[in-house]
Amino acid sequence: MPYGEKTEEQLIEFADKIFRFFELKKVKAVVMACNTTSAVTYEKLKNNYDFKIYPIIQSVSGILARMPVNKLGIFATPATIKSGVYSQEIHKINKNMQVFGLDCPQWVKIVESRGENKPENIDIIKSNLSLMLANKPDKIVLGCTHYPFLLPVLDKIAPKELFIDPADYFAEFIKNDLIKNDLIKEDLTPASEIFYVSSSPENFKKAGSIFYQINDLPRLVDLDA
């Protein structure tokens, strides 16, 4: 951690190991919820496995491209912005939309440390937002799973409706596609959930509680085994 500062070679290696682990678990689909890995690794790895992969950027870009906006801002990690994938995918459908990307390398650490209310971190967030607002975007995509947790700070500086959490569109896209491909679970029996981590289960459970209630300690797995 954090993924957004890793090299392309590192990200591909990590993603491939994770996908191989999922193969052993005989999954039917994998959600690539991380914008960084979606941007950097999906095209290079997508045909290497026997399950369906849902990458967040490629899945939601069509929806973003059809929005009635002329200027779209993208806040994301350095790796995602460097890849240019948001712009590339959007321009496949809407060549006229102007897309402005800005990397925010400190935002993930701010969220994971729960330091969004510290004055020095508020200054960082304000500085990034000011740079983006200079482009006069109609909407701004929070292009990292962590960034929506900074909305309480962001919406004190700019209107909340300016910001887009792509996860909302992503979840709907996945649901509809599973139905379309006859992969949706039909019965309504409660699902089980297991979390796996490659290190520090205790730290993951603590940090993960920002997003979701994790009841059991995640299982430690050696991806190099």
Instruction: State pLDDT tens for residues 13-30.
Output: 999 999 999 999 999 999
pLDDT score of 187:
78
pLDDT score of 198:
92
pLDDT higher for 53 or 188? 53
Domain 3-57+170-220 shares a fold with domain 60-167: yes
The class that CATH gives domain 60-167 is alpha beta
pLDDT score of 6:
86
pLDDT score of 185:
77
Residue 34 annotated in active site: yes
pLDDT score of 212:
87
Q: Is the pLDDT of residue 190 over 90?
A: no
- Cβ neighbors of 220 (< 8 A, separation 6 or more) are 196, 197, 198, 199, 201
Type of residue found at 213: Q
pLDDT score of 225:
79
Three-state SS for the chain is CCHHHCCHHHHHHHHHHHHHHHHHCCCCEEEECCHHHHHHCHHHHCCCCCCEEEEHHHHHHHHHHCCCCCEEEEEECHHHHHHCHHHHHHHCCCCCCEEEEEECCCHHHHHHCCCCCCHHHHHHHHHHHHHHHCCCCCEEEEECCCHHHHHHHHCCCCCHHHEECHHHHHHHHHHHHHHHCCCCCCCCCCCCCCCEECCCHHHHHHHHCCCCCCCCCCEECCCCC
Alpha-carbon 106 to chain mean position? 16
Closest to 77 in 3D by CA, of 135, 46, 38, 43? 38
Q: Averaged over 162-166, what is the pLDDT?
A: 97
Every domain of the chain and the residues it spans:
3-57+170-220, 60-167
Q: Averaged over 133-147, what is the pLDDT?
A: 96
Q: Is the pLDDT of residue 87 over 90?
A: yes
Closest to 194 in 3D by CA, of 186, 179, 204? 204
Q: 188: pLDDT confidence band, cut at 50, 70 and 90? A: confident
Residue 104 annotated in active site: no
Q: How far apart are CA 193 and CA 131, in angstroms?
A: 41
pLDDT score of 111:
92
Q: How far apart are CA 35 and CA 142, in angstroms?
A: 10
Q: Is the pLDDT of residue 174 over 90?
A: yes
Q: 36: pLDDT confidence band, cut at 50, 70 and 90? A: very high
pLDDT score of 182:
87
pLDDT score of 117:
94
The class that CATH gives domain 3-57+170-220 is alpha beta
Catalytic residue among 39, 57, 140, 144: 144
Q: Is the pLDDT of residue 2 over 80?
A: no
pLDDT score of 209:
85
How many CB atoms are located within 10 Å of the residue 46 CB?
14
Catalytic residue among 15, 18, 32, 34: 34
Mean pLDDT of the chain: 93
pLDDT score of 172:
94
Measured torsion, CA atoms of residues 170, 171, 173, 178, in degrees rounded to the nearest 10: 140
